[in-house]
Amino acid sequence: MTTTPLGILDLVPISTGSTAARAIRNSTDLAQRAEQLGYARFWFAEHHLNPGVAGTSPAVLLALVAGATSSIRLGSGAVQMGHRTALSVVEDFGLLDAVHPGRFDLGLGRSGGAPRAPRQVTDKTPVVDGKTANGLVIPPPFDFRPLLGSPRFLLQKQLLAQPGAHPQDYDELVGDVLALIEGTYTSAEGEPGHVIPGEGADLQLWVLGSSGGESAEVAGERGLRFGANYHVAPSSVLEAVDAYRAAFKPSTGVSGLDRPYVTVSADVVVAPQEEQARELAAGYGAWVRSIRTAEGAIQFPTPEEAAQHVWSDADRALVQDRLDTQFVGTPGQVADQLERLRDATGADELLITTITHDHADRVRSYELLAQEWQRR
């Protein structure tokens, strides 16, 4: 039997013909089902200005879902720290922990500022012809620079940030979060800062990242847990986990570890038959395309709506890496691929994201996967 825990990363997707209110109710229902099925964690991502994603505020969503569940760990995957202060985040999660103590994971994402140049990692996981030794697909890198320079992305930055604000150094920002929780924060002028509630909160801290750059290194250097995003940036997942482990230093502080600890995310759709699973996943390509063309994530289409999309060669090239690394099939087929991902990355946990048009199909996908995983 496998002992690798599975968690869920939820975007609160809005399907065509539905509403944000319905998406939130669906995600609450999914969290309740995940608890019953034995999933270890249920995390909310943070996204903005997307017509098809209602997950804009992890802390608010966590408060709603915490009241509807009792034992599953809940968390952010991740809070975007590029437009937040350490104080605001510790206050938000301190409030959550005060009401539901010991249940929350605080996942921090960089999402802003100039990245640190990645260090050289000498002991890298080998990749031959786009695959690891056990057959995990590692596609060519996707160039995110056009997306980051798009008018929509610039609008998002403008609306999220205070006028004239400059993102704080990420390592310093994470350090401030830790110090405020530990009760050791002192300003440059020597003034202590105490956050109530928040100081002493029983939170598990994670840093999430998509490359071997600053996020991976900060997580390692501070001895925190690390989440690598195969589902967002599959080309750099090995680079990310290798850089984290190379930078790792044991820590005795809040959420500190004596050894590296990694979760790795994956996009998954499971159905009793492979053909059925592929039909349920049919809208994924158009959905990813809408994100990578900076339109903003569209409402998730039905298989019939997806079939009507006219694909150009440029469109296909834009999403091919994500299509090649989405795990779609029967419970056994998908579990096999998840084991390859776990073994190639050395993941301690796996984080599953599933989006289908119909909520019942999404719940069923998680049910089938949990049942199969428990048999291994």
pTM to 2 decimal places: 0.95
C-alpha 354/C-alpha 226 separation (Å) is 21
C-alpha 65/C-alpha 55 separation (Å) is 13
Domain count, the chain: 1
* Residue 70 within any structural domain of the chain: yes
* Residue 1 within any structural domain of the chain: no
- What tokens were used for 196? 């109530």
C-alpha 267/C-alpha 137 separation (Å) is 13
Share of the chain above pLDDT 70, in %: 96
User: What is the residue range of 331's domain?
Assistant: 6-374
For residue 197, whether the previous peptide bond is cis, meaning omega lies within 30 degrees of 0, is yes
* Residue 264 within any structural domain of the chain: yes
pLDDT at residue 114, as a whole number:
46
pLDDT at residue 374, as a whole number:
95
C-alpha 202/C-alpha 107 separation (Å) is 14
Please write the tens of the pLDDT for every residue from 174-184. 999 999 999 99
Q: What is the pLDDT along the chain (376 residues), one digit of tens a residue?
A: 458 999 999 999 999 999 999 999 999 999 999 999 999 999 999 999 999 999 999 999 999 999 999 999 999 999 999 999 999 999 999 999 999 999 999 999 998 544 566 566 666 778 988 999 899 999 999 988 888 888 888 899 899 988 888 888 999 999 999 999 999 999 999 999 999 999 999 999 999 999 999 999 999 999 999 999 999 999 999 999 999 999 999 998 888 899 999 999 999 999 999 999 999 999 999 999 999 998 999 999 999 999 999 999 999 999 999 999 999 999 999 999 999 999 999 999 999 999 999 999 999 999 999 999 999 9
pLDDT at residue 113, as a whole number:
47
Contacts of 276 (CB under 8 A, 6+ apart): none
Please write the tens of the pLDDT for every residue from 231-282. 999 999 999 999 999 999 999 888 889 999 999 999 999 999 999 999 999 9
* Residue 126 within any structural domain of the chain: yes
Do the Cβ atoms of 356 and 300 come closer than 8 Å? yes
* Residue 26 within any structural domain of the chain: yes
pLDDT at residue 129, as a whole number:
86
Do the Cβ atoms of 298 and 376 come closer than 8 Å? no
Q: Find the CATH number of the domain harbouring 346.
A: 3.20.20.30
